[in-house]
Amino acid sequence: MGLVVALLQLNPTVGDLAGNAAEVERAVALAAANGADLAVTSELVISGYPPRDLLRDPEFIQRCADVTAAIETPIPLIVGTPLPPTSDRQLPGNGSMRIVPGRKAKVATRKQLLPTYDVFDELRYFEPDKAPGILRLSENLSIGVTICEDAWQHAGEVPADYDADPIEQLAAWQHQGEPLALSVNLSSSPYHLHKEGTRGDVVRAAAKTLGHPYLLCNQIGGNDDLLFDGRSLAAWPDGRMIQAPSWCIGVLLVDIEDGNGETSRWLPWPDGECCTECDCKVEIVDAGSEPSVPESGTDLLAAITTGLGDYCRKSGIKKLVLGMSGGLDSSVCAAIAVRAVGAKNVLGLSMPSRYSSDHSIADAKATAEALGIELHSHSITALHQAAEAELNDELVDGNPVARENIQSRLRGMMVMAAANSRGAMAITTGNKSELAMGYCTLYGDMVGGYAPIGDLYKSEVYDVARALNSEAVQFGQTPPITESTLTKPPSAELAPDQTDEDTLPPYETLDAILHAHIEEGASSSTLIASGFDESLVNWILERLHSNEHKRWQMSPAPRVSNRAFGQGWRQPLAAKK
Amino acid sequence: MGLVVALLQLNPTVGDLAGNAAEVERAVALAAANGADLAVTSELVISGYPPRDLLRDPEFIQRCADVTAAIETPIPLIVGTPLPPTSDRQLPGNGSMRIVPGRKAKVATRKQLLPTYDVFDELRYFEPDKAPGILRLSENLSIGVTICEDAWQHAGEVPADYDADPIEQLAAWQHQGEPLALSVNLSSSPYHLHKEGTRGDVVRAAAKTLGHPYLLCNQIGGNDDLLFDGRSLAAWPDGRMIQAPSWCIGVLLVDIEDGNGETSRWLPWPDGECCTECDCKVEIVDAGSEPSVPESGTDLLAAITTGLGDYCRKSGIKKLVLGMSGGLDSSVCAAIAVRAVGAKNVLGLSMPSRYSSDHSIADAKATAEALGIELHSHSITALHQAAEAELNDELVDGNPVARENIQSRLRGMMVMAAANSRGAMAITTGNKSELAMGYCTLYGDMVGGYAPIGDLYKSEVYDVARALNSEAVQFGQTPPITESTLTKPPSAELAPDQTDEDTLPPYETLDAILHAHIEEGASSSTLIASGFDESLVNWILERLHSNEHKRWQMSPAPRVSNRAFGQGWRQPLAAKK
């Protein structure tokens, strides 16, 4: 075996400096006990990523550096942390410190390329460095140290041009006679579906240019509105790669001389905290091959479970409440809630009205039973009648949607009452397709602190539902999403015999247009040229961009941007990097 | 008279390129007819500021440049506009074009310093330029052109260090023999209370270093969550200044040789659209003096009226609905709403409960009468009873705040029903002090698309109320805010005999602590050292920062940051620049 480098794939909590440092200590001890010579964390593992406005407090920055310097490790360790500014009027650095047993902790490097697009705001908070990170660990061992984005420009995977290319700078350094054994990259690289291929391109491009192995340590977990999938990577100059499992905590041991990955291995977290989703093996990717592509529904299920679970755990939320209509969205959300906080901590509310169908009540009941959660039934009929009586003068000649919204808002009030009374968080069950179209009620079905499926198109919600059912069958349990829920036409049930398709185009078409426009940036002319009906495209984009459906009226439409919504109420699974 | 430069102090609408260009044409014609030799607009006047994600669309950028190039002007004109990138992978520029009659429109300059802090996000959208803007208008006339932030570094008025100082660069240029007659600054400099002094420091510092007059053209008006007050400025090297009026549209004619400002003058918008707030005169500020400080209540009143008025006009909102409790906040909001959209377009809802006092109903009525608006009364009693009956099992042993929130949420539902039915926007009436403390109900009194007083501390709301009453008296009208509203103890009236001070400290103390912490960044130790009670400081800051009162529970607390909340529901009047 040659030099063994450990990538510590952890799940830090923003602001929990002591807790994050303790996890690093635990992981590096595990790595050392298994033969690692050197360990590397993900980006900003001490502060958690993204620390956002915490970074504006100089005391916080100093505390991060102090906590990092005090980490105990049996082997050399590179830790991602905010670093104090080098002058009074500078911003802090997004950097790393080198901790070597018996020596004083020392700044290793600061990030050079600061992404400020999509979900990233780093130029707001950090001062960019201008020199590449070279770390001399011993007389015979020097390595390159880069932070996340530093490697992406080189692979052409950033939307705009930076002045510098840290990978080229490291390569130039080597040409001047400074031999580097390997380079590492401390990453907080957010998840989106099928990102594994892109990250592979980045590490392969760097390894090829540098002529030595390039190792990327990524974090896992959800922090506020960002999700990270792990999948730490090592690439060799000839294109061979190994990839750590997704959605779980542990240590990837990389044998630098072992380009086939046969002696490299994954160390799961010892007490079973690792994960329940993966089989915890290193994936070996041959030169010329791509990392295997996970089944979408399964990967998204792991993603949104991690997101809601971490949001609750890290914010101290123990219980969840949601309205259950028997429809697809709320049934899937109930199942996710159970995975996040446990069945005994989830309360469903069935809130039928005069327009509710029998099957919707029965479907909600069947799902609640399959999941083993409490389901309380509260009819909105009496309140609905009282509201219509009191507000008749306001409603009589007005927009009929106002009447539909009343029902949804009474339900929102009930969900919040149940949540507030027991110190629980309400979750909101809307999907990205309906949110984009404003097919939802502001302060009604949109109440809640978190939207577990808010960044999934309706068709993806079906994928997740099928993955949930398959898994239940696999474990000999009752599938939580009933056949009726999966096959009946989606309906808001706010008017007699209403279905979503009374207002919206079929979800298959809607999702294809929305996906192309929102995720890929296709303009209306591009969409029409690619074969979509012109009037349909215009109707959808107009509704998407219209003020009429924005916050001041019925319901908000998302900003058409890959940028996170902010306020944490939706998961930007579709973040582009 | 010497050279006369016109500063076009306009109110652009984000995205309305043709409308904005037409306003520029109208203003430059007015300036030319009054003897101007050269005219300058504010920053990004063609796209409106802040254009945000519109800037991600290359077609939008190109349209801005095309619309700008097509502007007709009788005199040379410098127009602020986004500029197409100079290479494929670059971002657009935040720049200006020079339009000279009979010559081809030409790029004049691009902004060098891109603020990315507080309410600014410019590094997200723009590519910074590296050279200062020098514009040769004729063989004998060259001027310096800077954009907003370009001048602020020089006066030490930015939070961090930029690599370059465009004012020093222009000065160096002059030393090399390029004489500049003057320099101009195209600004979109947001309002905060008492900013006039800071802007004066900026233009004075630049004029002194450059040794020639420095002219700053600022926009006025509200765009999304930013407010601009105008107050365009010219400074001479010896420290004399002239300042345009605040909160109104027009043209500041600056006679460059007239350092006393006696031949410089203000041209109001010809048809009375200018404003109703100011007396439309240029203020002459002697060297060593500061611009006069407006009375806080009066200035804030103009600010929030502009904010709500522009939000409605620019978004196509014709009518407003709000709940009126007879308390200070909703009474002031009703008066602001009337000023924004006219009395006949404002509907107040009185929604008494079993806990409402007689005087609160009477005060709401008196205010509505004084303002001449419709006031509909809808009791929540029947709904409240029905809700308590239906939800009794959920509430019986729970947090009593859940019961209070029900009332507030039923009112929120009523306000939204009235708004949705008539295509109006609901406005929410909370102030910054109570929002900071979470003393409000999510989906209850917080419903609405806009919070007119959401960035005013409670004590500032009293200032605004008194300004409203004084103005009414001045015009022989009934003061809209009743004496009882001004003097009774603030109460949410959600429980018997409740007052705000049952839960919160007196507003005078609360506001002092919040202001020092939120606006000035004072830490708890600083606050305690300055004499505030330790346990009180800790209680306030803990509540401010606590998850318990955040979005997932009862009510959201603002992020402790000067950054705008986003989503447009509060006005960052306190923006630091």
| Out of A231-240, A322-331, B255-264, least confident range | B255-264
Band of residue B564 on the pLDDT scale cut at 50, 70, 90: very low
Helices B534-545 and B507-514: crossing angle, nearest 10°?
70
Q: Which of B89, B418, B553 sits opposite A420 (nearest CB)?
A: B553
Measuring CA to CA, which residue among B274, B426, B453, B435 is closest to residue B349?
B426
pLDDT digits (tens, 9 = 90+) for A451-479: 899 889 999 999 999 999 999 999 999 99
Specify which residues A95 forms β-bridges with. A81, A110
Taking the CA of residue B395 and the nearest CA in chain A, the distance in Å comes to 6
pLDDT of residue B554: 41
Nearest beta carbon to residue A116 from set B124, B161, B450: B124
Report ipTM (2 d.p.): 0.92
Decide if A49 contacts A11 (C-beta within 8 A). no
Task: For residue A57, count CB atoms less than 10 angstroms from its CB and return exposed for 0-12, middle for 13-18, buried for 19 or more.
Answer: middle
- Whether residue A402 and residue B414 make contact (CB cut-off 8 A), yes or no, is no
Chain B positions in Cβ-Cβ contact with residue A380 (cut-off 8 Å) = 390
Is A248 a catalytic site residue? no
H/E stretch holding A408 reads helix A401-421
Tell me if B567 sits within 8 A of A551, measured CB to CB: yes
Alpha helices in A475-552 (DSSP H): 483-487, 507-514, 524-529, 534-545
| pLDDT at residue A158 tops 50 | yes
Q: Which two tokens stand for residue A435?
A: 């949110």
Which two three-digit tokens encode residue A48?
């958690």
Q: What is the pLDDT of residues A509-545, one digit of tens each?
A: 999 999 998 888 888 999 999 999 999 999 998 888 7
Task: Flag if A566 and B567 touch (Cβ within 8 Å).
Answer: yes
Mutate to test the interface with B, among A90, A114, A416, A576 (most CBs of B within 10 A): A416
> What type of residue sits at position B80?
G
A551: amino acid identity, one letter:
R
Q: Which pLDDT score, from 0 to 100, does residue B557 have?
A: 34
The residue whose two tokens read 């060593």 is B288
In this prediction, residue B496 carries a pLDDT of 85
Q: Which pLDDT tens digit goes with each residue over B297-348? A: 999 999 999 999 998 998 888 999 999 999 999 999 999 999 999 999 999 9
Q: Which positions ≥6 away from B325 have C-beta within 8 Å?
A: B350, B351, B356, B360, B364, B493
Given a cut of 80, is residue B174 above it in pLDDT?
A: yes
Measured CA to CA, the distance from residue B254 to residue B260 in angstroms comes to: 10
Do the Cβ atoms of A449 and B552 come within 8 Å?
yes
Percent of chain B with pLDDT over 70: 93
What pLDDT was estimated at residue B275? Answer: 57
Residues 93-122 of B with CB under 8 A from A: 116-117, 121
Q: What would the mean pLDDT of B514-532 be, rounded to a whole number?
A: 90
CA distance B83 to B121: 17
Chain A interface mutation, best of B350, B377, B553, highest count of A Cβ atoms under 10 Å = B553
Chain B touched by A63 (CB under 8 Å): no
Task: Give mean pLDDT, residues A387-408.
Answer: 94
Structure-model confidence comparison of residues B355 and A114, the more confident one = A114
B448-462 per-position pLDDT tens digit:
988 899 889 999 999
In terms of pLDDT, which residue wins out, A158 or B545?
A158
In DSSP terms, which residues pair with A40 in a beta bridge?
Answer: A7, A78
CB atoms within 10 A of CB A134: 18
Instruction: Quick: pLDDT tens for A138-151.
Output: 888 899 999 999 99
Structure tokens at B531: 């004499």
Residue A394, both tokens: 């306001």
Q: How far apart are CA B536 and CA A110, in angstroms?
A: 40
Rounded to whole angstroms, the Cα distance separating B25 from B45 reads 12
Reduced to 3 DSSP states, what percent helix, strand and coil does chain A have, rounded to the nearest 5? 40, 15, 45
Q: What is the pLDDT of residue A385?
A: 96
Please answer whether residues B297 and B335 qualify as being in contact, where contact means their C-beta atoms are separated by less than 8 angstroms.
Answer: no
State how far residue B6 is from chain A, nearest Cα, in angstroms: 35
A 290-329: CB under 8 A from B? 315-317
Annotate A276-311 with DSSP letters as a single string.
SS----PEEE-TT--PPPPPHHHHHHHHHHHHHHHH
- Give the Cβ contact number of residue A257 at 10 Å: 12
- pLDDT score for A159: 82
Q: What was the pLDDT predicted at B576?
A: 35
Question: How many residues belong to chain B?
Answer: 577
Q: Which residues of A touch B86 (CB under 8 A)?
A: none
The model's confidence at residue B218, banded by pLDDT at 50, 70 and 90, is very high
Cβ separation of A416 and B394 shorter than 8 Å?
no
Q: Which of A55-59, B74-78, B200-204 has the lowest mean pLDDT?
A: A55-59
Rg of chain A taking only CA atoms, in angstroms: 25
CB count, 10 Å around CB of A495?
14
Q: Across the strands, what pairs with B99?
A: B77
Of A160, A386, A413, the CB nearest to B89: A160
- Between A38-47, B127-136, B314-323, B539-548, the lowest mean confidence (pLDDT) is in B539-548
Residue B240 to residue B305: CA distance in whole angstroms: 31
Name the region of B148 (left: φ>0; alpha: ψ -120 to 50; beta: rest).
left
Residue B268: φ, ψ to 5°: -70, 160
Q: Does domain A4-294 have CATH number 3.60.110.10?
A: yes
Confidence label for A338 from pLDDT (cuts 50, 70 and 90): very high
What are the phi and psi torsion angles at A514 (to 5°)? -60, -45
For residue B53, which residues of chain A lie inside 8 Å, CB to CB? Answer: 559-561, 563
The full DSSP string for B94-107 is EEEEEE-TTS--EE
Tell me the percentage of chain A whose pLDDT exceeds 90. 69
CB B283 within 8 A of CB B291: yes
Token digits for A400?
Answer: 């009929």
CA distance A472 to A489: 24
Residues of B in contact with A442 (CB under 8 A): 416, 447
Least confident of A33-42, A129-138, A555-564, B62-71: A555-564
Residues of A in contact with B442 (CB under 8 A): 416, 447
Please judge whether B413 and A399 are an interchain contact, meaning their C-beta atoms are less than 8 angstroms apart: no
- Of A43-47, A429-433, B143-147, the range with the lowest mean pLDDT is A429-433
pLDDT of residue B542: 85
The verdict on a CB contact (< 8 Å) between B383 and A390 is yes
For A301-499, the fitting CATH number among 3.40.50.720, 3.40.50.620, 3.30.930.10, 3.30.460.10 is 3.40.50.620
- Residues in B 372-391 with any Cβ partner in A closer than 8 A: 376, 378-380, 382-383, 386-387, 389-391
Of residues A23, A122, A127, A148, which has the active-site annotation? A148
The 3 state secondary structure assigned to B345-383 is HEEEEECCCCCCCHHHHHHHHHHHHHHCCEEEECCCHHH
Q: Which pLDDT tens digit goes with each residue over B6-26?
A: 999 999 999 999 999 999 999
Which one of B117, B383, B541 makes the best mutation probe of the A interface by having the most chain A beta carbons within 10 Å? B383
Q: Which residue ranges make up each domain of chain A?
A: 4-294, 301-499
B476 CA: distance to closest CA in chain A (Å): 34
Question: Residue B399: its chain A contacts at CB < 8 A?
Answer: 420-423
Gap between the Cα atoms of A459 and A510, Å rounded = 10
Structure token pair of residue A200: 């592979």
Whether the Cβ atoms of residue A110 and residue A94 lie closer than 8 Å to each other = yes
Give how far Cα A151 sits from Cα of A157, A194, B372, Å. Answer: 9, 19, 64
- Judge if the upstream peptide bond of residue A50 is cis by omega within 30 degrees of 0: yes
* A90 vs B contacts (CB less than 8 Å): 160-161
Which residues are within 8 A (CB) of A444 and not within 5 positions of it... i.e. 6 or more apart?
A405, A407, A408, A409, A411, A412
Q: Which pLDDT does position B279 carry in this prediction?
A: 61
pLDDT of B289 strictly over 60: yes
Cβ atoms of residues B337 and B308 within 8 Å: yes
Q: Which residue has the tokens 């707030």?
A: B277
- With cut-offs at 50, 70 and 90, classify the pLDDT of residue A1: low
Q: What per-residue confidence (pLDDT) applies to B223? A: 86
Q: Which helix (H) or strand (E) holds A184?
A: strand A182-187
Backbone angles phi, psi at A409, to 5 degrees: -75, -30
Q: What crossing angle do the helices spanning B458-474 and B296-315 adopt, rounded to 10°?
A: 90
What average pLDDT score do residues B242-261 get? 90
So what's the pLDDT on residue A223? 86
pLDDT of A551 strictly over 50:
no
A121 to chain B: which residues are within 8 Å by CB?
121, 124
Is residue B292's pLDDT more than 80? yes
Arithmetic mean of pLDDT, B474-502? 90
Which residue reads 């522009």 in tokens? B310
Choose which CATH entry (3.40.640.10, 3.40.50.720, 3.40.50.620, 3.40.50.1370) describes domain B301-497: 3.40.50.620
DSSP state of B230: B
Mean pLDDT of A93-99: 97
Residue in A closest to B161 by C-alpha: A89
CB A281 within 8 A of CB A386: no
The whole-model pTM stands at 0.93
Residue B138 banded pLDDT, cuts 50, 70, 90: confident
Map A412-455 to HEC letters: HHHHHHHHHHCCCEEECCCCHHHHHCCCCCCCCCCCCCECCCCC
The first and second tokens of residue B33, run together, are 């007819």
Write down the pLDDT at residue A531: 96
Please give the Cα distance from A402 to B417 (Å, whole number).
Answer: 5
Residue B450 is given by DSSP the state B
Q: Which of A152, A318, A390, A546 to mutate to test the interface with B (most CBs of B within 10 A)?
A: A390
Q: Which residue has the higher pLDDT, B133 or A565?
A: B133
- Residues of B assigned a catalytic role: 43, 111, 148
Segment B426-451 shows an average pLDDT of 90
Q: What is the mean pLDDT of chain A?
A: 89
Q: Residue B425: which of A317, A413, A553 has the nearest Cβ?
A: A553
CA–CA dist A336, A133 (Å, integer): 42
A550 vs B contacts (CB less than 8 Å): 449
Sign of CA dihedral A448, A452, A455, A460: negative
Measure Cα distances from B428 to B309, B324, B351, B453 in Å: 15, 10, 15, 9
- Rounded CA gap, B564 and A124, in Å? 14
User: What is the edge-to-edge ordering of all strands in the sheet holding B4-9?
Assistant: B106-110, B93-99, B77-83, B38-40, B4-9, B250-255, B265-268
CA distance A562 to chain B (A): 10
Q: How many residues does chain A have?
A: 577
- Phi first, then psi: what are they for B349, rounded to 5°? -115, 125
Question: Is the pLDDT score of B393 beyond 50?
Answer: yes
Distances (CA, A) of A327 to A292, A432, A487, B482: 33, 15, 10, 51
Mean pLDDT across A399-428: 94
Has A111 been annotated as catalytic?
A: yes
Average pLDDT rounded to a whole number, residues A37-44: 98
Average confidence (pLDDT) over B366-374 = 98
